Structure 1
Amino acid sequence: MVTSRIWFTAAQKAELWERWKNGQSAAAISRALERKNKTGVERIVVLHGGIGPAPRRRALAALRFEEREEISRGIAVGRSIRQIAQGLGRAPSTVSREIRRNGGSQAYRANRADRRARERALRPKPCRLALYSELRWRVAQKLALQWSPQQISGWLKQEFPTHQDMQISHEAIYRRLFIQTRGVLKKELTAQLRTARRMRHPKSHNAKSGQGHILDMVSIRERPAEIEDRAVPGHWEGDLLTGANDTHVATLVERNTRFTMLVKIPRKDTTTVVAALAKHISKLPEELRCSLTWDQGKEMHAHKRFTVATNVQVYFCDPRSPWQRGSNENTNGLLRQYLPRGTDFSRISQSYLNAIALRLNQRPRKTLGFQTPADRLQAVLH
């Protein structure tokens, strides 16, 4: 099995993982550690799936290096095992076993004994997925359906509330996917993750730039409190998802239930966008047509025409503030699993978009207590 021992001391590896966690690139880390190229850093990071290993700690009852040095000195001056043990405050059997497993009195050396003890301690605990085949099968099945590890973990807790062997944390699932030396879940399943990434990367944040002033717009700061606290259904967040060749799909997310609708947009001009959104929104029950929160994109310049057609008030976010449409931004990220960057949306039909929305609405969400948006919307309507 490949190991990560490639010319780095323990202190350097600790620094490497700290820098990786802080978002530095492999090249930057290599320069900081005075390496000629980034290959060594990349090999360590890939080997561990981008997840820094937990620092090693000795068991409290284990012999320390200083104690092994005392044993070595005691042997050298001719002390008996009982005398050495008494000086260390250890049982004679502990000292006897230590000497015997490291070559006996004639060959015992503290450095070598301590190194061998650390090597023997490398006994990774079998993970739950490796031990329980039914759990492993269910996790793999849900990953194939493009459920996220967090959704799978939450669903298992609800499905098997009293069966601990059928529960697992989302972090454990990620680790078995990314750290392939464990060989528990097939590497191909990482392609089913929303980001399709094959290792963990440090988080980065991107913000949209402002799109210009819109006449007579109503600021999000004037939005009523009932919309802010998500207490009442019927309030939506919207945005345009951009594809190849300047093609677009409108995404609409209901704030209370996280129910998602996708709208095919032939062109990005405000007349086309507003007409398409109005046609889609008008199909909803009246109690689900209350407000829409959008960013300051030019496609909503004709927002007053939209409000007249649907009786839905439009509120606009502050510039460069995507978090003010947090549910919509998160959903756009989820949609990239089905509509990856570079997709030409002009080749996608509205029926296909409806199928994607259905798949998304039938996935359990942590923020809904692992209920699905479809179930939550059904409960609201009844």
Structure 2
Amino acid sequence: MNTKKHKRLSLKERVIIQTLLEENKSKSFIAEKLNRSRSTITREVNKWVSNPNDKYDASLADWLAKDDYLNKRNLDKIGSYSLLRFYVYKRLLKNWSPEQISGRIKIDYPNDPVMTISHEAIYMHIYSHPQASLNKRLIKLLPYQKSRRRKPKARRKKGSKIKDQINIAQRPEHIENRQEIGHWEGDLVIGKAQKSAIGTIVERKSRYTLIISLKNRTTKSVTRAFAKELNRFDNQLTKTMTYDNGTEMADHKWLSKHTNMDIYFANPYASWERGTNENTNGLIRRYLPKKTDFKSIDNSQLKSIQSKLNNRPRKVLGYKTPLEVLEQNSV
């Protein structure tokens, strides 16, 4: 057959390739349909897909191919290896974080030195040319979309201003494994110019979330509002809460007394010790982005967002909803 020579595949042709692959057509059949050589089709598919769990994606393949052609200056690992680049970009498009991509690729390609990348290398690749159109698009896929990466400011170590706090190290070990219901994590989400805030409390096992309207960030306002919400539940569902070192929890003894909950405090700058709450705050930010003035958000709007989060299936829960898990464990 007469085949095209020295002409790059078009997006239209890649869409046909994807469609026919999904119909389990052979590469020879696809080549004949497109009037291309079989080696061209084989090379195209193998370039972007080697893991059996991945599927050929026409739009992404076309995007990356154009980037290959137009941007030869990418000399980092992601820029040098097309399969690695396809793997990373495809998961960024799925809203995976660089940390998740770096961790998962080790499982998918355990013995391939090319298919391994640190999360820092992914960030460096994305921010290598922050003004380029491709990089701007990649930055928008990150959990926290900043136009540039800045070195974190050095923090001065200060002693805690919260008296008589109980450190997370003293929290019973069984709480860590999420087998028991009733253990919560708490925090504030700060609004525009740090002049407003809302409270968030998340149950560790079920991921059930409370979003709490606050008049202000004083310890009295926060602890009273938290107590009011938590006391709506049976005692079996409110056993402990782990908080950060925010001074709004200075009156933790009052909260503990009026909810019968033990209050533990995470270590300074150790957000991973309250990872469930941190991740949930990120979900809430999708509805209430940074610079939101929470004084303009009424309680009904907060409860609407709370309901959406608690009635959404979660993969980590076997696609049950947080509300379903909470109710199943409260019987």
- TM-score bracket, normalised by the shorter chain, equals 0.5 to 0.7
1:14 matched to 2:114: no
The equivalent residue for 1:228 is 176
Shift of 1:353: 1.0
Distance 1:230 1:207, change over 3 A: farther
The equivalent residue for 1:328 is 277
Instruction: Answer whether contact 1:207 1:321 (CA < 8 A) is retained.
Output: no
Match of residue 337, structure 1, among 277, 286, 304: 286
Distance 1:8 1:369, change over 3 A: same
The equivalent residue for 1:306 is 255
Amino acid paired to 2:267: D
Match of residue 236, structure 2, among 260, 271, 287: 287
The equivalent residue for 2:319 is 370
Instruction: Answer whether contact 1:211 1:297 (CA < 8 A) is retained.
Output: no
Shift of 1:29: 3.7
Amino acid paired to 1:295: D
Distance 1:327 1:9, change over 3 A: closer
* Secondary structure, aligned partner of 2:185: strand
Amino acid paired to 1:241: V
Instruction: Answer whether contact 1:195 1:336 (CA < 8 A) is retained.
Output: no
- In 2, the alpha carbon distance for the partners of 1:369 and 1:343 equals 33
- In 1, the alpha carbon distance for the partners of 2:75 and 2:230 equals 58
Match of residue 247, structure 1, among 192, 196, 201: 196
Report Cα offsets for 1:50-81 as digits up to 9, x if no partner.
49xxxxxxxxxxxxxxxxxxxxxxxxxxxxxx
- In 2, the alpha carbon distance for the partners of 1:311 and 1:344 equals 33
- In 1, the alpha carbon distance for the partners of 2:271 and 2:292 equals 23
- In 1, the alpha carbon distance for the partners of 2:133 and 2:232 equals 54
Q: CA RMSD in A?
A: 3.7
Question: Unaligned regions of 5+ residues in structure 2, if any?
Answer: 1-9, 11-62, 86-116
Shift of 1:241: 0.4
Shift of 1:327: 0.5
Distance 1:257 1:370, change over 3 A: same
Question: Unaligned regions of 5+ residues in structure 1, if any?
Answer: 31-37, 52-177, 179-189
- In 2, the alpha carbon distance for the partners of 1:307 and 1:210 equals 25
Report Cα offsets for 1:91-133 as digits up to 9, x if no partner.
xxxxxxxxxxxxxxxxxxxxxxxxxxxxxxxxxxxxxxxxxxx
- In 2, the alpha carbon distance for the partners of 1:320 and 1:50 equals 27
Report Cα offsets for 1:300-328 as digits up to 9, x if no partner.
00000111111111000011100000100
Match of residue 307, structure 2, among 333, 338, 358: 358
- In 1, the alpha carbon distance for the partners of 2:144 and 2:122 equals 22
Amino acid paired to 1:224: P
Distance 1:43 1:281, change over 3 A: closer
Amino acid paired to 2:183: H
- In 2, the alpha carbon distance for the partners of 1:233 and 1:308 equals 20
Q: Percent same amino acid among aligned pairs?
A: 33
- In 1, the alpha carbon distance for the partners of 2:176 and 2:273 equals 10
Report Cα offsets for 1:201-250 as digits up to 9, x if no partner.
99x99999978331110111111122122121111000000111411010
- In 2, the alpha carbon distance for the partners of 1:24 and 1:216 equals 42
- In 2, the alpha carbon distance for the partners of 1:373 and 1:227 equals 18
TM-score of the pair, normalised by structure 2: 0.60
Amino acid paired to 1:321: A
Shift of 1:364: 1.5
| Structure ID, larger Rg | 1
- In 2, the alpha carbon distance for the partners of 1:356 and 1:205 equals 32
- In 2, the alpha carbon distance for the partners of 1:207 and 1:351 equals 40
* Secondary structure, aligned partner of 2:313: coil
2-11 or 238-247, which moves further after superposition? 2-11
Greater RCO (CA < 8 Å, at least 6 residues apart): 1
Shift of 1:256: 1.1
TM-score of the pair, normalised by structure 1: 0.52
- In 1, the alpha carbon distance for the partners of 2:324 and 2:212 equals 21
Amino acid paired to 2:274: R
Alignment of 1:183-198 (within 5 A): none
